[in-house]
Chains A and B, each alone.
Chain A
Amino acid sequence: MNGNEMLFVAFPYAAFVIAVVVSILRWRRHPFTVSALSSQLLENRRLFWGSVSFHWGITVILVGHLLALLVPSGFELWNGAPVRLYLLEATGFALGLWALFGVVVLLARRFMVRRVQAVTTPMDIVVLVLILVQVVTGLWIALGYRWGSFWGTAVFVPYVRSLITLSPRPELVEALPIVLKTHVLAFFAFLAVFPFTRLVHIITVPLGYLTRPWQKVIRNRPEPAVYHPAADRTLERVP
């Protein structure tokens, strides 16, 4: 196995397995530790600028990446007309800048605000720096290697798909410039640290809230047979 295979085959698979296995273990064995660890109580103003910018910027960009992976043909179609390509790229770049601004504020806040410092763990910094690398390389690629939404579907999509179908083709990314490689590797690193950090909160996004009844009532003691809680949407049974 050469270096390229290590980095672009072994590493992603290892990172993925770690992400899945450790997340499940942590979720099941240490649910108390799964938390977004908000520090808004301690510092509000900078968090507003940092957190809102970062989260929205990065979420939309992530969804964009995911779409490119799932429906590359859609991207190719869209980018058929140059105007639309420019529009997409400009939007992506703006979102990237927005996210970058957010990360920088969040990172600065970790060092500058005493109260926030008090709850900062080394892993918080690792996470923020990793994301910073991601965002910076992403912006760099957008500037230095123009029209990524166009060639990306031809270069990255086959590579990622080869990983998913368990027939990895690392040679697809072998000749890429270092910045692009860093961008990809930083993502795998992100996957690998994911379950050990507060990033686990990503998989807890509470979309169930949209459909659940407002109230929630739980019984400790089994109720008698004559009673029919099914009629009441606010009741939820414990196993």
Chain B
Amino acid sequence: MRVRAQMSMLFHLDKCIGCHTCSVACKNLWTDRAGAEYMWWNNVETRPGTGYPTGWEDQDHYKGGWRRDDKGRLHLTLQNKPTGIARLFFNPALPQLDDYYEPFTFRYGDLFSAPAGEQQPTARPISMVTGDEMEIAGGPNWDDDLGGSQVYARNDPSLDGIDPDVRSQLEEIERVVFNYLPRICNHCLNPACVAACPSGAIYKRAEDGIVLVNENKCRAWRMCVAACPYKKVYYNWSTGKSEKCILCFPRMETGQAPACAHSCVGRIRYMGVLLYDQDLITAAAGAPETELLRAQLDAILDPWDERVVTAANAAGIDDGWIAAARRSPAWRFVKEWGLALPLHPEYRTVAMMFYIPPLSPVVATIERNLTKLDLPAERVDFELFDELDKARLPIRYLANLFSAGDEDVIRAVLRKMLAVRIYKRRQSVDGVVDDATVALLASAGTTPQEAEDIYRLTTLPTVEERFVMPPYHREMSIEAVNDPLRHKGAAGVGYVTPPRRGA
């Protein structure tokens, strides 16, 4: 066992209101620059939908992630090493700017400088690449709230395998259902971006698992962009360097949560340490499809286990981190409660950001797949609990997103969440928890005590409970390579030289 630590973010999808505050916080902080306008290191997409860049989950087209061969070995879908070199001149799987969108602004100056005339002056949209006037044809959330749309939602690859009847119903106005999916880089344990980079410019930090591009080593070969199945490396067309989410490491090193998490209006995001065994990464990435999730969870270690603590100490993880790992909301949701899942585990990058899947909007009851409202109030909750498969958001859909198609995993998660909800409703609305509800908790694999804990961390956490930041001891790392007195003047974020395009 060789222990490493990972900073993990959790997204409680039931709470996301799709406000895009996270995206804007990130944009203002990191990507408000020439060449980066089109990048959304954090984006929020409406699902079912095609997301951003359009249709990113279509790996037949984009060639992201890893595939497992018959012998159980892993290969990048994009390339092997010789083809990686051979395609330096042209990378057939590279998304085009139009797969994202052409970044635009408006010529606001016209509002002031237009000569007097009959009409109100307008600010015309112009391209932020060419400066020319343009027709806006897309954006990072162009299909916002368009659940059920024929153009976007229908083309969601994660709808595969859903009964055609149910699929067509999803497009009916009465059945339209959608949820939001905020996405950042997953800071994977087996990152395809790192593996695809011919220059070796991308690396994973051992102490917190953040995956970073060394901008000084990046040479614009842009293999990472294609290889990342989540399309979370972006190519800066101005500087000729690839860029990606940095999990706000400068903030984390000073004890603050990443900006997207910190600004989250729905308070859906949690941050915490997960300890994992680096010897199990290969097993986690290379497991057969049905075992993938289990194998990944197995690689995540119990911070309360003394053997783990000893091994962690031996690997240089100090007690501050162990303490943070024990209080980590990521640990609780992912392992203790088993409520959080990685996005698309079948990409085999072993994504380390986790999602608590959304409960469908509370349907009253179900009849022939449509809702019916004439049940007695006491039955309403139980009805959905027993008939999860008829929930408005098909289980199959969530399984395609979060469990490599394993519906039982999703069912277990949703039942537990529903049980907690029913339990708390009985408690706060009726004032008593009847035997049927306690039995229901048990059948969902939980207890009243655990239900209270889940409830508490879901709905009422303080900011310190949501973001359990470990002590980074940045000063020690700096001292290891730099004279602190000399470093003093250079502290802070910023380039020594501005990031200008080379000739």
Report A's interface with B, CB cutoff 8 A.
30-42, 44, 47-48, 51-52, 55-56, 114-115, 117-119, 121, 123, 196-198, 200-201, 204-210, 212, 214-224, 226-227, 232, 235-236, 238
CA distance A126 to B20 in the complex (A): 44
Nearest CB in chain B: distance from A28 CB, A? 10
Nearest CB in chain A: distance from B312 CB, A? 11
Nearest CB in chain A: distance from B381 CB, A? 47
4 further A-B contacts with Cβ under 8 Å, apart from A32-B215, A218-B203, A218-B205, are A35-B241, A36-B220, A217-B205, A221-B473
Main secondary structure on B side of the interface with A: loop
B129 within 8 A of A: yes
Tell me the chain B residues, 332-372 only, with Cβ under 8 Å from chain A.
none
Chain A residues near B443 (CB-CB < 8 A): none
Let me know if A118 and B200 touch, CB within 8 A.
no
Let me know if A52 and B90 touch, CB within 8 A.
yes
B219: which of A201, A220, A238 is its contact (CB, 8 Å)?
A: A201
Let me know if A40 and B316 touch, CB within 8 A.
no
Let me know if A232 and B85 touch, CB within 8 A.
no
A232: which of B2, B203, B215, B502 is its contact (CB, 8 Å)?
A: B2
Nearest CB in chain B: distance from A53 CB, A? 9
Chain B residues near A210 (CB-CB < 8 A): 81-82, 85
B239 within 8 A of A: yes
B221 within 8 A of A: yes
CA distance A49 to B199 in the complex (A): 25
Let me know if A226 and B497 touch, CB within 8 A.
no
Complex interface: stretch among B106-114, B163-171, B187-195, B263-271: B187-195
Tell me the chain B residues, 486-503 only, with Cβ under 8 Å from chain A.
495, 497, 499-503
Tell whether A41 pairs with B131 under 8 Å between CB atoms, given A208-B200, A219-B207. Answer: no
CA distance A39 to B207 in the complex (A): 35
Nearest CB in chain B: distance from A109 CB, A? 13
Nearest CB in chain B: distance from A217 CB, A? 5
Of chain A, the residue at the smallest CB distance from B279 is A232
Chain B residues near A56 (CB-CB < 8 A): 89
Nearest CB in chain B: distance from A46 CB, A? 11
Report B's interface with A, CB cutoff 8 A.
2, 76, 81-82, 84-85, 88-92, 94-97, 129-132, 190-191, 194-195, 197-200, 202-207, 215-222, 225, 235, 237-241, 278, 314-316, 473, 476-477, 480-481, 495, 497, 499-503
CA distance A3 to B235 in the complex (A): 47
Chain A residues near B84 (CB-CB < 8 A): 209
Let me know if B314 and A227 touch, CB within 8 A.
yes
> What 7 A-B pairs are tightest by C-beta distance, nearest first?
A33-B502, A206-B198, A31-B216, A35-B240, A37-B240, A214-B195, A209-B198
Tell whether A115 pairs with B241 under 8 Å between CB atoms, given A32-B216, A206-B198. Answer: no
CA distance A215 to B241 in the complex (A): 20
B89: which of A51, A117, A123, A209 is its contact (CB, 8 Å)?
A: A51
Let me know if B502 and A220 touch, CB within 8 A.
no
Let me know if B204 and A215 touch, CB within 8 A.
yes
Chain B residues near A198 (CB-CB < 8 A): 502-503
Of chain B, the residue at the smallest CB distance from A226 is B314
Let me know if A221 and B132 touch, CB within 8 A.
no
Chain B residues near A222 (CB-CB < 8 A): 316, 480
Residue from the set A51, A115, A210, A215 with the largest chain B CB neighbour count within 10 Å: A215
A204: which of B191, B199, B222, B499 is its contact (CB, 8 Å)?
A: B199
Chain B residues near A214 (CB-CB < 8 A): 76, 194-195
Tell whether A37 pairs with B204 under 8 Å between CB atoms, given A117-B130, A215-B190, A221-B477. Answer: no
Let me know if B81 and A35 touch, CB within 8 A.
no
Chain B residues near A33 (CB-CB < 8 A): 500-503
Chain B residues near A232 (CB-CB < 8 A): 2, 278
CA distance A206 to B204 in the complex (A): 19
Let me know if A35 and B218 touch, CB within 8 A.
yes
Let me know if A42 and B129 touch, CB within 8 A.
yes
Of chain A, the residue at the smallest CB distance from B99 is A41
Tell whether A41 pairs with B222 under 8 Å between CB atoms, given A35-B239, A209-B81, A221-B207. Answer: yes
Of chain B, the residue at the smallest CB distance from A197 is B503
Let me know if A44 and B94 touch, CB within 8 A.
yes
Let me know if B200 and A215 touch, CB within 8 A.
no
Chain A residues near B82 (CB-CB < 8 A): 210
Tell whether A221 pairs with B476 under 8 Å between CB atoms, given A39-B237, A52-B89, A118-B129. Answer: yes
Of chain B, the residue at the smallest CB distance from A218 is B203
Let me know if A37 and B502 touch, CB within 8 A.
yes
Nearest CB in chain A: distance from B501 CB, A? 7
Chain B residues near A31 (CB-CB < 8 A): 216-217
Chain A residues near B480 (CB-CB < 8 A): 220-222
Tell whether A119 pairs with B502 under 8 Å between CB atoms, given A41-B222, A216-B194. Answer: no
Nearest CB in chain A: distance from B91 CB, A? 7
Of chain B, the residue at the smallest CB distance from A201 is B219
Let me know if B503 and A121 touch, CB within 8 A.
yes
CA distance A37 to B240 in the complex (A): 4
Let me know if B89 and A55 touch, CB within 8 A.
yes
Of chain B, the residue at the smallest CB distance from A207 is B85
Let me know if B237 and A42 touch, CB within 8 A.
yes
Chain A residues near B197 (CB-CB < 8 A): 209
Chain B residues near A218 (CB-CB < 8 A): 203-206
Q: List 28 A-B contacts (CB under 8 A).
A: A32-B216, A32-B239, A33-B500, A35-B219, A35-B240, A36-B219, A36-B240, A38-B222, A39-B237, A44-B94, A114-B132, A121-B501, A121-B503, A200-B502, A201-B220, A206-B199, A206-B219, A209-B84, A214-B76, A214-B195, A217-B205, A217-B206, A218-B205, A220-B207, A221-B480, A223-B316, A227-B316, A232-B2
CA distance A226 to B2 in the complex (A): 12
